[in-house]
Structure formats: C-alpha cells, structure tokens
Amino acid sequence: MNKMFAFGLCVQLLSASTIYACPEGSVAQQYLSAIETMNWSKMESMLADDAVYTDPTMIYFDSDPIHRVGPPSIAGFWRSGSEESGTSKISYTTTQCFETAGYFVVNLDINVRVAGAYWNVDKDWISLPGKVLSIIRVTDGKVKEHHDYVEYSAAETTVSELQRKYGVLETK
C-alpha cells in the first residue's frame, strides 16, 4: 500500500472517529434536523434547484433504486413516504459526521415510529431501528446532493420479531 495513502487514511479514520455530530448550525445539520422533525417545507427550502436525492439500497426490498431531482420531487417523496407509512416520529443519533470538500459524511442510528399495519404487524405503532450512511453535498448554502445508504436488515428483523409477538395482519 502506498505509504502516503495509508497515512492519509489513518489520519481520516482517527479524525472521523473523534467527531460525532455535524457542526452546530451547519446546512447539513439543519437539513437533517428538518427531516427528523418532518418539516418538509423547510427541507424543500434548503435544497438547490437542481438538487439530487438517491438511495440505491432499496434493491434490498426488490425495489428500484430511488432517484429524485429538484426540491418539489425530493420533499414530495419524503412527505408522501411518511404519510403512506404512517410515520409519526423519526429519531436520529449522529454517530459520526465529518466534512470534506463540501461533502458531509454522516453515520446515523435511526429509529422510526410507523403504523404497524404498514409493515403487516397487528399493533397500532411500531418502532424500527436502522443505520444510515448519508452523504450530503452543500454548495452555496444549499443541499446539492443527498445520497442515503440504508442498512435495512435490522428493520426487517425487528418486523419479523414484532409479527411473532403481536401477530400478522390478515391481508384482504
């Protein structure tokens, strides 16, 4: 391995491991806060006109990767997804965040409170844990890119456990 590359990698890993939250007041932090509080209009206002949102990890559910362009499409996707799933709360814990060349790389532990029926669980509300790696590019004070990489297996395991505990809803 190239010694300079190895040194640079060590420096990045060491510095990243000591930073746990996006800088207070940063655009990235405000943007993630808008998502966490489900303030879709604020989220939309923070996006550049040509902003892009992607989540290629939806293939986990045999779904097409998510790719949205423009504030109305991106915020609309998040809004409709939360309404469809009966999401009543999104909680993030930032485990790492570092900024490099206009990109914020953020590791998040998440917990989402959704309607049990959405996941076929016979319970009004369920909480699903997960981990997300978000890469957010900020230019000129606006979010230009947001790429999510979601580890869905924890949520799927939780759903299976909740279905065993509370029962599976009858499909019509």
Q: Mind listing the pLDDT tens digit for each residue in 21-54?
A: 677 789 999 999 999 999 999 999 999 999 999 9
Q: What mean pLDDT value characterizes the chain?
A: 87
Q: Does any domain span residue 120? A: no
Structural domain total, the chain: 1
pTM flag (> 0.85): no
pLDDT computed for residue 1 by the predictor: 47
Q: Does any domain span residue 113? A: no
Q: Is residue 113 very low, low, confident or very high in pLDDT (cuts 50, 70, 90)?
A: very high
Q: Is residue 153 very low, low, confident or very high in pLDDT (cuts 50, 70, 90)?
A: confident
Q: Is residue 171 very low, low, confident or very high in pLDDT (cuts 50, 70, 90)?
A: low
Q: Does any domain span residue 168? A: no
pLDDT computed for residue 169 by the predictor: 84
Q: Does any domain span residue 170? A: no
Q: Which residues contact 65 (CB under 8 A, 6 or more apart)?
A: 54, 55, 56, 57, 58, 59
Q: Does any domain span residue 86? A: yes
Range(s) of the domain holding residue 139: 19-108+130-151
Q: Does any domain span residue 80? A: yes
Contact between 97 and 28 under an 8 Å Cβ cutoff? The reply is: yes
Q: Does any domain span residue 160? A: no
The DSSP symbol for 169 reads: P
Give the CATH number, domain containing residue 88.
Answer: 3.10.450.50
Distance from C-alpha of 67 to C-alpha of 82, rounded to nearest angstrom = 17
Q: How many CA atoms lie within 13 A of 79 on its CB side?
A: 12
Q: Does any domain span residue 118? A: no
The DSSP symbol for 118 reads: G
pLDDT computed for residue 58 by the predictor: 83
